Every structure is written in C-alpha cells, then in structure tokens.
Amino acid sequence: MKPAGLLLSVLILPVLADSELRERLRDRHVEGREQWIYNNLAAGFAKAQETGKPLLVTFRCVPCKDCMEFDGLVAGESAALREMTGEF
C-alpha cells in the first residue's frame, strides 16, 4: 500500500466506525426520491448520458447546521425544484 493510501485509511476508518457520525452523513432529503441518485457517481453519469440531461454533482463533508439547511433547500420537496429537475 502506498503511504498516502495508508494515511488516508488511518484517517478515514475511525470516522466510518463512528455510527453517530455515519448517521449524520446520511442525506435523508434525497433518499427514495426519483430525481436524485445518491452516493453513486457512476449511476449518475450513466443516467445523464442516457437521458441527455446535465449532471449536478455535490461533494459533501460532515454536515454542519448551515449545510443541513442548504441540503433541505436544494434537495427538499420544493415545487419549483421538482419542476426544474423534470426539465433538466
């Protein structure tokens, strides 16, 4: 294993082992919604190519209060957002 990979493993594994943190990382705004593909970049690219629509990719960290509010606005049940995602 390369040193960078080992360092990354050492830093990431404790985070993944923390179940409370894993729960905070889940994005409940997008689960089960047909307009979002969650945690599967390859599937997102495939769907964009299949439909000819653009792809929106967001990269996240451990969500703070402000990020969680942003997620609610972006991925929540907004009629305007649903209309836009139907067009794009």
Phi-psi region of 52 (alpha: psi -120 to 50; beta: other; left: phi over 0): left
Which pLDDT belongs to residue 62? 65
Which residues constitute the domain of residue 69?
3-87
Which pLDDT belongs to residue 3? 66
Q: Residues 41-70, buried b or exposed e (16+ Cβ, 10 A)?
A: eeebeeebeeeeeeeeeeeeeeeeeeeeee
Which pLDDT belongs to residue 30? 56
Say what the pTM is.
Answer: 0.46
Q: How many domains does the chain have?
A: 1
Over residues 19-40, the mean pLDDT reads 61
